Structure 1
Amino acid sequence: MKFKQKNTLTKSLLSLAITATFATSFMATANEKDEESVEVYTVTANRSSMSIGDALANQIVITRADIEIMNPTSVLDIFTTVTSVDVASNGGRGQSSSIFMRGTNSDHVLVLIDGIRISSATSGGASLNTLSPEMIERIEIVQGPRAALWGSDAIGGVIQIFTRQFEAGEFFAGASFGSDSYQKYKAGAGISHGDGHSSISISKETSDGFDVQEGSETDDDGYDFTSVAIRGQQKISKDLTFDWLLSSDQGDNEYDGYYNGSDIRNHVWLVRANYQSVLNGVKNFTTFSVGQNRDSADSLSDGIWQSTFETRRMQYSLTNNMQFSDELQINVGVDHYQDDVSKGTTTYDIQKRDTTGVFAHTLYTDNAWTYEATIRHDDVENIDAENTYNLGLGYQLDADSRLVANYGTGFKVPNFNSLYYPGYGTPTLKAEYSNTFEVFYETTFNNIDASINFYNSKIDDLIGRKEGKAASFAKVEIKGVELAANYQGLGGTHDMNVSYTDTEDQSSTYQSGDRMGELTYAQLIRRAKEKFNYKFTTSAAGADLYLQYQFVGARTDSVYGVEGPVHLPAFQLVNLGLNYEVTSNLSVTSRVTNLFDKDYQTAKGYNTQERAFYIGLNYQNF
């Protein structure tokens, strides 16, 4: 593996060694905490509940406990620790942001909240920067294509966020304060109603912010957001239950330029019925859901309304999981989406679109071998029909090790801006299409859980801008390797991951100075080849301690009016956190971000926050 930023990486590893030495000296006095091994179940990889070790997918599960010890100020803070994920933001909290998984585009990651898609029909991306971490119970991340199960967008992977639920009588409340006049107030509680319960969570955050963009306009750009989530479940009989969700994020943020502010409103609602039955000895779990995602933003100039973007998506889904035996399960389902962009001020030639997808999935285990196959057909109105599939093969080498190989295809339907935005859209665009092969090895030895993953993805007809209009022209090949390890010992838990991602845009070349003038494929923007993350957590004297080190290699970016790629230097960050239990119910939390006050950018021309301090007080009765 060859690193172009060799000197920078060497310095970063030296810094890590110094940090690790400090952490180790502290660990010697820490009280080690015995942790029971808890089996983790997921639903995102196969659209049915199963042990994470049985699914033939590369998965990461972030629990509520992980979030609390990290004490993030935004959801994006959580994703910066994930293998092969790049996060780029046009400023701070509430600003436009992107998540790139395994080198793919930001709209190649399907984002769900409790099963509901939240991507915008106009821009194609999902807005996560307004969602409060206080609303989240856990996050499941599946890396690699899963379009054969979920449909459009799932080329690089799937992120599913599950909202919090509380038992009857449980509640929490708290407040936090920090740099840039940051304030957060939060509360949540659970109530019972017969054989059911409901939970409500509320969070309000305000900050004066910082100057988000380079230039002559040096004022602070603040934000004010309120998040509310209501999650409930009702048991009708021993076989039938209903659950529901109502989630709302709304507020305003400031930025630079003529359009210097936005009023943002994101809403999700869902009603779902779950029915269990046994037919001819086959266990069935049937789910029917209906819901809607709505995102809306008013653009402002000095507080005066200028325009509105709003999209709505009605979503219907019917799935059935059939468990024939402990070795064989089959999942089948139908998804239907109705996109509507007629409510905004921009007039699109076509304002509504229906998409219907049907899929079948099977997972079979025969002693040490596991086989997986999925096929899906999507009919997209005014675009085309798309067929996708996944094939997986796993072999259990021994009780602690397995080898898995996957091949999958995926697609991304063009968004309404690419198709119909006045003066820019091209109505004849077809869907982007991908195929990916990956192989990974997982093992456990000497209290270490480790994995290594190799993957290769090819994406055809990537949509971009050509001569001022949307066009399908790019062909991309992405090659990557990921290494991750978790070790419990030496006074705490150590998580490490390193990734190398090569994103070749085969439609764009440049003159490489270190290859004797040879033409070299350009790299996709805002994606680093080299990334390294290290997390250390421990408990001592009633306190939970958290340390994070992050290295992100050099990247390129594009700037309007500048020909060719521009350079984004590598950077490294250190974050610290401490949660102290005053009593069994009362705790004090603190966090320091960008400990060494590094000056860095994730998007050219946009500033990031300097060193920041946060402290909070929390009370809970569970």
Structure 2
Amino acid sequence: MDESQLKSLFLTLAGPALLLAGTALADQTESIVEHMVVTGARLPQSPEQVPADIQVIDAEMIADSGAQTLAQVLNGLAGIQIQDNIGNMRRGVSISLRGFGENGVNNVLVLVNGHKLNNPSLAGPDLSVVPLRDIERIEILHGSASSLYGDQASGGVINIITRQVNEQALLLSAARGSDDLERYYASIDQRLGEQFAVRAAVDVEHADNYRDNNNSDRERGLLHLNFHNGWFSGFAEWQQDDDRLRLPGALSESQIRDDRRQAGTPGQYSNRETTLQRLAGRFVMNDRQQLHLDLAQREEEGSGEIFGSMFTTLTEVRTLQPKWTGQWPLTHGELLLTAGADIERTEYQSDYGFGATSFSQDTDDLYAQISAPLSKDFRTVIAGRRSEFSLSDQQGGQAIDDQLSVFRLGFNYQLDAHWRSYLRFDQGFRWPNADENGFIPASLTSLTPQESETVDFGVEYQQQHLRLTLGLFSMDVENEIVFDPLADGPWGPGTGANINLPASERQGANVSVRWQATDALDLHWHYRHTDAELSSAPFAGNEVPLAAERVSNAVIRYAFSEQWSLYADAVYTGPRYRAGDNSNVSELLGGYTVFNASLRWQLRNWQWQLRVNNLSDKRYNGYSGGLSPFAFAYPAALAQYALSVEYRQ
């Protein structure tokens, strides 16, 4: 059966289900499940205690979607803007929250169980480092969280929580799809007595991908050892990730019209080997206090060819995160305290043939948060962080030392059993990384740290089957770090450079609805409106490049029997200016809507699933930048399918 026949079969089966979903709105017997969240306070809390816009995507929603990558999950379920400058929705994907547009990659912090994936360079975090079948839930905090998480959390935080290793379990999965996609996954959980448990997992993937010269091969291995007794719990973890990727490069508009699959850079590639070792523990001091310790080391070696030149990179990141938590009963509820340190040591080396780079970057941060009930229905949250930053360039002899402090004040008010409101003031920051400081105007010795102030207000209504949220925010950013392609850079006048913009601002609103209409029907809708404006000369009044004013998604999940279920989503990205167009001189890129769907069949331990991306063959670009006559884009894939089978025991 070829791809067109599979698409036809899918639409034939999906059509009646969608029709049934539109009429089956009567029996409301299943409630929306509530989650404890950790992202708002770095300890488990009910959402009512966190004065923030936090969205949770659970494992069942991920499974229903049939998505093959984390980027596909976030694109379809989170109502956020995704940009893809390679085209396979894996490596090369960046996330924009709060209107940061092309700067989103360094203004959104991505964590795995609280461990940072972001890099101290312009390279974004790899969103495909965790297999989807290992994910328990994804917590998305919209808005600044620097007081708790530090650098790069100006626009928001995405925390990926993986499955706990507890009982004996076996999971096997295989998938085949468009463009020679093959993926195989296996994991086994095994208890070793009463106190130990172990998980071993292997993930292998190959794909030619949509464009020429875009082949990818990836092998990942995981070994996780868990320990638990009455006063101590902890784990040791080792991960190995080997990723070989061909780079198709950007195309001009005329090249895309001629053949959107062709490679603009037929010889380029980027290979990477990543090793992560992590050791974490939690000590129960008494029934009210706990001490946490997290030690991790990530080493990433890269090599490849770009612009006809061979390159090598080496990144080593070591982190130490001690944390103390305590809780005490008061008259109106529990007092929650969190205090800790984030200590990071980074070594980075690169050689692109036209010059070598070698630098060390250190951050030493202290933070604390107190969450206190002022009455039965009113809670206040106060947090602060002190960050010290140092950057040493071994090649150029440059040394930068700086420090700053940020503060948060938030309030939660539970109006009644169904209504909640919150108000939060938050300061954020981002340190300029070595890549950015290495390409600045000759008149500067270094960039200034980016700082921001945000006010968030939101209301939430929740009953057994319905959740409605409305949020408003206003953010003022000082010294935003951006790339200006027309600035006088190190290569001469008008060749481009990284600069600090004195001021920019963002205001916006979001609406989110989740309705468990019946046992069988679940509906989601997210809409986010953001006015992102450069408010200082020479770009005063212009829109932030690549920041779409309107982003929305709608999701329908319908189970028309115990075995069969349907998932469908529509993702809208509004008009925006090209990356680098701070002057807004180019035409606006048009908005577009992409439809995706999945059909799932389950029987006992088995699950079969057909996922179709870009169901309507929409022609759009994952990333667009540059100014005429040098405008470029990375075309996104047309319709693609993946058929998977899974066995759980």
TM-score (norm 1): 0.87
One-letter identity of the residue aligned with 2:342: D
Name the residue aligned to 1:357: 365
Whether the 8 Å contact between 2:277 and 2:296 is mirrored in structure 1 is yes
Name the residue aligned to 1:229: 222
SS state at 1:603 partner: strand
Alignment equivalent of 1:102, drawn from 98, 102, 105: 98
- In the TM superposition, residue 190 of structure 1 has moved relative to its aligned partner by 0.3
Alignment equivalent of 1:54, drawn from 41, 49, 53: 49
- In the TM superposition, residue 88 of structure 1 has moved relative to its aligned partner by 0.6
Name the residue aligned to 2:283: 275
Tell me how far apart the structure 1 counterparts of residues 536 and 79 of structure 2 sit (CA, whole Å).
Answer: 23
- In the TM superposition, residue 229 of structure 1 has moved relative to its aligned partner by 2.9
- In the TM superposition, residue 584 of structure 1 has moved relative to its aligned partner by 0.6
Q: Deviations over 1:554-598 (max 9, x none)?
A: 1111369999445321111111111101x3101111111111111
- In the TM superposition, residue 143 of structure 1 has moved relative to its aligned partner by 1.2
Alignment equivalent of 2:35, drawn from 1, 23, 40: 40
- In the TM superposition, residue 509 of structure 1 has moved relative to its aligned partner by 6.8
SS state at 1:406 partner: strand
- In the TM superposition, residue 499 of structure 1 has moved relative to its aligned partner by 1.2
SS state at 1:69 partner: helix
SS state at 2:349 partner: coil
Whether the 8 Å contact between 1:83 and 1:482 is mirrored in structure 2 is no
Tell me how far apart the structure 1 counterparts of residues 283 and 559 of structure 2 sit (CA, whole Å).
Answer: 42
Whether the 8 Å contact between 1:355 and 1:379 is mirrored in structure 2 is yes
Whether the 8 Å contact between 2:25 and 2:517 is mirrored in structure 1 is no
One-letter identity of the residue aligned with 2:40: A
Tell me how far apart the structure 2 counterparts of residues 361 and 297 of structure 1 sit (CA, whole Å).
Answer: 38
Higher mean displacement: 522-531 or 430-439: 522-531
How do residues 160-175 of structure 1 correspond to structure 2 at under 5 angstroms? Answer: 160-175=159-174
Name the residue aligned to 1:368: 377
Tell me how far apart the structure 1 counterparts of residues 123 and 477 of structure 2 sit (CA, whole Å).
Answer: 17
- In the TM superposition, residue 426 of structure 1 has moved relative to its aligned partner by 5.5
Higher mean displacement: 237-246 or 310-319: 237-246
* Pair 1:337 & 2:344 matched: yes
Q: Deviations over 1:25-50 (max 9, x none)?
A: 34547997953554411111101111
Whether the 8 Å contact between 1:32 and 1:539 is mirrored in structure 2 is no
Higher mean displacement: 246-255 or 474-483: 246-255
Higher mean displacement: 479-488 or 287-296: 287-296
Tell me how far apart the structure 1 counterparts of residues 384 and 328 of structure 2 sit (CA, whole Å).
Answer: 19
Residue 314 and residue 220 in structure 1: after superposition, are their counterparts in 2 closer, same or farther (change >3 A)? closer
Name the residue aligned to 1:313: 317
Alignment equivalent of 1:593, drawn from 594, 613, 618: 613
One-letter identity of the residue aligned with 2:612: V
Tell me how far apart the structure 1 counterparts of residues 587 and 302 of structure 2 sit (CA, whole Å).
Answer: 30
One-letter identity of the residue aligned with 2:244: D
Q: Deviations over 1:188-215 (max 9, x none)?
A: 110222312121232212111122xxxx
Tell me how far apart the structure 1 counterparts of residues 476 and 205 of structure 2 sit (CA, whole Å).
Answer: 41
Residue 587 and residue 349 in structure 1: after superposition, are their counterparts in 2 closer, same or farther (change >3 A)? closer
SS state at 2:197 partner: strand
How do residues 64-143 of structure 1 correspond to structure 2 at under 5 angstroms? Answer: 64-83=59-78, 85-93=80-88, 94-104=90-100, 105-106=103-104, 107-123=106-122, 125-129=124-128, 131-143=130-142
SS state at 2:511 partner: strand
Whether the 8 Å contact between 1:549 and 1:575 is mirrored in structure 2 is yes
Residue 406 and residue 165 in structure 1: after superposition, are their counterparts in 2 closer, same or farther (change >3 A)? same
SS state at 2:524 partner: strand
Whether the 8 Å contact between 1:116 and 1:268 is mirrored in structure 2 is no
SS state at 2:230 partner: coil
- In the TM superposition, residue 526 of structure 1 has moved relative to its aligned partner by 1.8
* Pair 1:496 & 2:500 matched: no
Residue 439 and residue 129 in structure 1: after superposition, are their counterparts in 2 closer, same or farther (change >3 A)? same
- In the TM superposition, residue 396 of structure 1 has moved relative to its aligned partner by 0.9
Name the residue aligned to 2:641: 613
- In the TM superposition, residue 171 of structure 1 has moved relative to its aligned partner by 0.6
* Pair 1:203 & 2:203 matched: yes
Whether the 8 Å contact between 1:556 and 1:565 is mirrored in structure 2 is yes
How do residues 455-494 of structure 1 correspond to structure 2 at under 5 angstroms? Answer: 455-465=473-483, 466-468=487-489, 469-489=497-517, 491-494=520-523
* Pair 1:265 & 2:273 matched: yes
Q: Which runs of 5+ in 2 are unaligned?
A: 1-13, 249-264, 391-399, 490-496, 625-632
- In the TM superposition, residue 137 of structure 1 has moved relative to its aligned partner by 2.5
Whether the 8 Å contact between 1:32 and 1:492 is mirrored in structure 2 is no
- In the TM superposition, residue 95 of structure 1 has moved relative to its aligned partner by 4.6
- In the TM superposition, residue 103 of structure 1 has moved relative to its aligned partner by 0.9
Alignment equivalent of 1:397, drawn from 415, 421, 425: 415
Q: Deviations over 1:317-348 (max 9, x none)?
A: 11111112242111111111101113766866
Aligned-residue RMSD, C-alpha: 2.8
SS state at 1:79 partner: helix
Name the residue aligned to 1:557: 578
Residue 186 and residue 305 in structure 1: after superposition, are their counterparts in 2 closer, same or farther (change >3 A)? farther
Tell me how far apart the structure 2 counterparts of residues 580 and 452 of structure 1 sit (CA, whole Å).
Answer: 35
Identical-residue share of aligned pairs (%): 19
* Pair 1:247 & 2:239 matched: yes
Name the residue aligned to 1:532: 552
Q: Which runs of 5+ in 1 are unaligned?
A: 1-18, 212-218, 511-519
- In the TM superposition, residue 492 of structure 1 has moved relative to its aligned partner by 0.3
SS state at 1:555 partner: coil
Tell me how far apart the structure 2 counterparts of residues 70 and 284 of structure 1 sit (CA, whole Å).
Answer: 39
Tell me how far apart the structure 2 counterparts of residues 329 and 318 of structure 1 sit (CA, whole Å).
Answer: 17
Alignment equivalent of 1:328, drawn from 312, 332, 335: 335
Tell me how far apart the structure 2 counterparts of residues 445 and 288 of structure 1 sit (CA, whole Å).
Answer: 38
- In the TM superposition, residue 500 of structure 1 has moved relative to its aligned partner by 0.7
Name the residue aligned to 2:295: 290
Whether the 8 Å contact between 2:547 and 2:577 is mirrored in structure 1 is yes
Paired positions, count: 581
Whether the 8 Å contact between 2:543 and 2:584 is mirrored in structure 1 is no
Tell me how far apart the structure 2 counterparts of residues 337 and 418 of structure 1 sit (CA, whole Å).
Answer: 19
TM-score (norm 2): 0.84
One-letter identity of the residue aligned with 2:407: Y
SS state at 1:221 partner: coil
Residue 450 and residue 478 in structure 1: after superposition, are their counterparts in 2 closer, same or farther (change >3 A)? same
* Pair 1:408 & 2:426 matched: yes
Residue 201 and residue 308 in structure 1: after superposition, are their counterparts in 2 closer, same or farther (change >3 A)? same
Name the residue aligned to 2:189: 190
Tell me how far apart the structure 1 counterparts of residues 147 and 138 of structure 2 sit (CA, whole Å).
Answer: 21
- In the TM superposition, residue 142 of structure 1 has moved relative to its aligned partner by 1.0
